[in-house]
Structure 1
Amino acid sequence: MIADRARQAAAAAALVGCLLAAHGTAAADAAAGARLSAARCASCHSSTETIHSTVPLLEGQPKAYFIAQWRAFRERKRTAPVMVNLAGELSEKDVADLAEHYAALAPPPAALASGSDTGRALADRLRCAACHGSALRGTHAGAARLAGQKVQYTTWSLQLMRSGTRSHGTAAKPDPLLADLSNAEIESLAAHLASLR
């Protein structure tokens, strides 16, 4: 009798699990993400025009990083007005679809980005690969892809992190790792990162 009840309880639990799965969040849809990207994101984020030089490329960003940034805008931990408004309009499903779409893409070739020994040495000294992955393409744990990112966007972001205006992972604000870097060093590092694929 106890065994029968245990089997019935297990069967009921399995049924509830199946029902929750059926009514829970659907799997991300890259095609839906592509449509949403074309309508809402690509005109700025996929652009390599000078006017968009401080808008990051999203191509190749890991899904966890993409979703974390959307949440930061939604919760106003990051404050770009356009993104705060857009983050409030997008559903969790929309963001999952966009993340799926962008994670499958590669950044476009950088027209003027050429790495330097100085930038490469800085990336090694700062141990960027320890958090951002051996090829600096980001991680499933949520670290950003640095390889192929726009030079001016990366330069601007690192300067914000150095000053403490923007967080750098779990580092203190301002980030002591970046505190002693000059603007010229930051630009060399950004150019090196942009040259990677």
Structure 2
Amino acid sequence: MSKPFPHRLVHLVRLFATAGLAFSTHAAVAQQAVVPDTITQRVMACTVCHGKEGRAGSDGYYPRIAGKPAGYLYNQLVNFRDGKRTYPVMTAMLDNMPDAYLREIAQYFSDQHPPYPPPQPSQSNPAELERGRILVHEGDKAKGIPACIACHGAKLTGTAPAIPGLIGLPRDYLLGQIGAWKIGTRHAAQPDCMAHIVQKMSTADISAATAWLSEQHVPADASPTPTLTVKLPLECGKLSP
């Protein structure tokens, strides 16, 4: 009686040979499919979290980076790389990137202008929203808090080269970043004007300002103000003229 083993062995050899041929064909096709070396292709790692074109989502965790001033985006990339801002994923991605490449990434996202989503209601009461509006447009002289528009522009869409916009962002994100300055886990170039301002704001002030900002519609032209035209209300890194 013939032994079954040799026949099974021949069958397995044929299967492996067929699989090997298929793998070789796939590898040859893969070699021909060259990934384009473009900035759009290279920043796809960023869009996994920040959304297509950097538009982000409404979850409040990853911010919109599209359309922000290139200088601001560059500063944040440097801060993550150098440890002034702490988020392990960002630090790991940026650890070995040179300044020139970070500027290229920043400029790419600054040039993107996808549409903004509609604002989400904050569920705040009218009194809180009015307090927020006053803080944003007038500040609080008694507390030494300047108006947000004094730095972030009359439209609150930011000021080139390095001051970001404040509208079009979820309230949770705004609360998270102001809170980080409040407890000292976020830093900017000295003198750190935001850290100085936030220390003068009460919890109620922060809640009111973020509530009002998050409910504002973004104007049709959401571009940052081209340049600083007035002296900032206090020294702020290298931004003051």
Equivalent pair of 2:84/2:187 in contact (CA under 8 Å): no
Corresponding residue to 1:157 among 154, 177, 180? 177
Equivalent pair of 1:110/1:150 in contact (CA under 8 Å): no
Number of residues paired by the alignment? Answer: 164
2:85 corresponding residue in structure 1? 78
2:48 corresponding residue in structure 1? 43
Give the Å deviation of 1:49. 5.0
2:133 corresponding residue in structure 1? 120
Give the Å deviation of 1:62. 0.4
Pick closer, same or farther for the CA change 1:144–1:169 going to 2, 3 Å. Answer: farther
Q: Aligned partner of 1:85: which letter?
A: A
Give the Å deviation of 1:190. 1.8
1:131 corresponding residue in structure 2? 151
Give the Å deviation of 1:177. 2.1
- Runs of 5+ consecutive residues of structure 2 not aligned to the other structure: 1-36, 140-145, 219-241
Q: Aligned partner of 1:109: which letter?
A: P
Distance 2:158 2:103 in 1: 17
1:57 corresponding residue in structure 2? 64
**Deviations 1:77-132, CA, capped at 9 Å, x for gaps:** 21211111111244445433322222122562244146933222111213212222
Q: Aligned partner of 2:199: which letter?
A: A
- The structure in which a higher percent of residues are helix is 1
Q: Aligned partner of 1:144: which letter?
A: P
Pick closer, same or farther for the CA change 1:96–1:120 going to 2, 3 Å. Answer: same
Q: TM-score, normalised by structure 2?
A: 0.58
Distance 1:71 1:111 in 2: 30
Give the Å deviation of 1:172. 5.1
Q: Aligned partner of 1:56: which letter?
A: P
Decide which moves more: 58-67 or 156-165. 156-165
Q: TM-score, normalised by structure 1?
A: 0.69
Q: Aligned partner of 1:119: which letter?
A: G
**Deviations 1:38-89, CA, capped at 9 Å, x for gaps:** x211221233253xx2222112210000111111111112121111111124
2:209 corresponding residue in structure 1? 189
User: What is the DSSP-based 3-state SS (H/G/I as helix, E as strand, rest coil) of the residue aligned with 2:208?
Assistant: helix
- Runs of 5+ consecutive residues of structure 1 not aligned to the other structure: 1-30
Distance 1:137 1:32 in 2: 29
Distance 1:173 1:132 in 2: 13
State the Cα RMSD in Å.
2.8
Distance 2:167 2:196 in 1: 23
Distance 2:164 2:95 in 1: 22
Decide which moves more: 81-90 or 113-122. 113-122
Taking the TM superposition and a 5 Å limit, the aligned residue runs for 1:170-185 are 170-171=190-191, 175-185=195-205
2:27 corresponding residue in structure 1? none
Equivalent pair of 2:119/2:168 in contact (CA under 8 Å): no
